[in-house]
Amino acid sequence: MKIKNIDVGSLFLAPMAGVSDVGFRKVCKMFGADLTYVEMINANAILHENVHTKKLLETKDDEDIKVVQIFGHDPLIMAKAVQSPLLAKFDIIDLNFGCPAPKIIKNGDGSALLKHLDTLASICKSCSSATTKPVTAKIRIGFESDENIAVQIAKICEQNGIAAITVHGRTRAQMYSGTVDYETIKKVKQSVAIPVIGNGDIVDIKTYQMMLKTGVDGVMIGRGALGRPWIFAELKGKKVEDKFSAIKCHVETLKKYYTDEELCLILRKHFLWYIRDIPGASKYRFELATTKNLNDSLKIIEKIYNDK
C-alpha cells in the first residue's frame, strides 16, 4: 500500500493516547508493525512547544516512516501545527476525527467534528494545503448510535486533499461497545479512490481476516496490541519465543527520556496489560499497581513469564 508516494506496508499500530510511546512503538516495530503512529497530540500544544509535548514527539531512527496524529477544531491552528518545526521530521500527518473520549469531545475535537462536517472539511483542506507531505485522517462511522455517515465523511476528506483514511467501524456513541460494522468499512472502500485502512476489534488471525474481507488496503490495530505487541508477528505467521526481552526493550528505550520514578507511573498500565492474559498472574496485579521501584516491577514480570 502507498500513501501518495510513500510505501507504508499494510499492518499498522494505532495512535493511542498514553499508550503509543516511543518504547512501545519500537517493540511493535520489532514484531512486524509496518507503520507506527505517535499518539494524538493537541495542535495548540504543538504551537506552544512545551516540554511534555516534545517528549511525546520523540522518535527512533528505526521508525523509517514517521507518522504523527494531531487533533483540534480550528482549521487555522491545525494548519499552523502541521507547519510547526516540531513536526518537520514526520513523513505523514494524521488528523483525528474519531476520538470518542468525553474530555476531547467537550472541546469540540476528535469525533465531535463528525457533527460539524463543514469544519471537518475546512480542517482537511487547510492542513493538506499547508504541506507537501501526505495528510491522512481517522474517523468513526458517525456520532450518534443510529447514525452512519462514513461514506459521506470519506468523500469529504478525499475532496479536501486527504491522502488516506482510517475507519473505525463504530459510532462515537458506541465508544468501544458492540461490534464493528464491517459492511460500512467495505462501502467506504468502494466509495473513494484513496487508500482505506480498517480499524476496530482486531485481536487475532480470525478478526484480522474478517477485516481484510472488506477489501481495505491496510489494517490498524489499537486495543488488540495492548500488552501484546507481538500480535503483529502472529498475524504475519511468525512464532514468538522471548516475550520478556521485548518488555525489557520497551523499558530500556523509555529510560533515555524519563527517570525511573516517572517510568513507574508511565509503565504501570503497560505492565498490567503485559500480564493480563497469563493464568495465575492476577495475584501480582496489586503489587505491580503499587510498586514505585522499576526494577521490582521487572522482577515480578520476569517471574510471571518464567513460571507460566
- Taking a C-beta distance cutoff of 8 angstroms, is the pair 172, 143 a contact? yes
Active-site annotation holds for 99: yes
CA-CA-CA-CA torsion sign (69, 58, 79, 190): negative
Residue at 57: amino acid letter: L
3-state secondary structure of 255: coil
125-136-10 Cα angle (round to 5): 160
Listed in sequence order, the DSSP H helices in the chain are 22-30, 43-48, 51-56, 75-82, 102-105, 117-129, 150-159, 182-191, 205-212, 231-235, 243-254, 260-275, 285-290, 294-307
First to last CA, the chain: 39
186: which 3 cell numbers? Answer: 467495505
Residue at 123: amino acid letter: I
- CA–CA separation, 185 vs 209, rounded Å? 14
Which residue is catalytic, options 99, 127, 157, 264? 99
Beta strands in 151-281 (DSSP E): 165-171, 196-199, 218-221
Catalytic positions, written as ranges: 99
